[in-house]
Structure 1
Amino acid sequence: MGSNLSLPSPSAAAKYLHFYTELEKTRIERQLAIEQLLEQRRRAYKLAEEREKLKWTASGGGIMMMFCVFSWMHHKNMMHLLPIFVAVPYLGYEAHYCYGDKLALIDKAAKQIRTEKIDELVPSAISVEDVRKRIEELRQIREDEKYLAQ
């Protein structure tokens, strides 16, 4: 007796289920929004850091190139200009990263890799045979170490 009174009505259960799914959907949306904001903040911080490093790198590179040119003029040796050929592309890359569209190119390449090679990015499942082979390899390594220690 009374068992009919203790059971929830089907409409109430459906109502709660709908309510919980909406709450979960809202939670997931908020979590994704927070993750996107944190990623934007991390990227902005990294870009600001790179711009600060570029100031020092560019000034040091400029001074180094100036010394190379003076050394070349003094010694008349073309080999003194070789560091310039390394410094100029590096400084160009850093400047392009800090003030150009290098981040957009990196994002584009990352999206292309994710769409084309998604199977290569996901590791395959480990089988029992793989575990047994690895155990045997470790056992063999331990035996070799014991043999070499004697």
Structure 2
Amino acid sequence: MKRRLRQRSAGVATIEFSIVFVVAVLMMQFCWWAGRAYWQRTVLEGAVRDAARLIASTPPGELTTYGNFTTVVADANALVAEAAQRSGIDFLGLDILCDGSVLCTSSVGLRVIRLEAEALLPETVFPAFGGDGIPVTLSVEVPYDGRFAFQ
């Protein structure tokens, strides 16, 4: 009788190990991916904050002139795009709002600069689930003061 039980349970440890091993590997991959996604989001948020500070440090005369405003917007986009590219993020675009409007048309009463960035975090661990990537939208608000020294 005992002989029969031993013969039946001979491969049970191997099967248990294979199930536990697969689950453990998937958990490690998820932890690695979550850490990388958190790092990439932090890098993107820092770049958006720097771009917001760049715009907030622009003197009022330059910010309200359309040609100068587009130059400042291009510089802010380039700043965020470069940081996103260095960390492997697909940067989609940057929206700039001054006190709720799309364009900063008047420096009178200008109080808040808000930047909204859209990006795709690449899906490297589970590509079948992520498609093109995981969409991320970040919003950063900074007070407007044309006297900031951007560092």
TM-score normalised by L of structure 2? 0.43
Where relative contact order (Cα < 8 A, 6+ residues apart) is larger, the structure is 2
TM-score between both structures, scaled by the size of structure 1: 0.43
Structure richer in strand, relative to its length: 2
Q: Which has the higher helix share?
A: 1
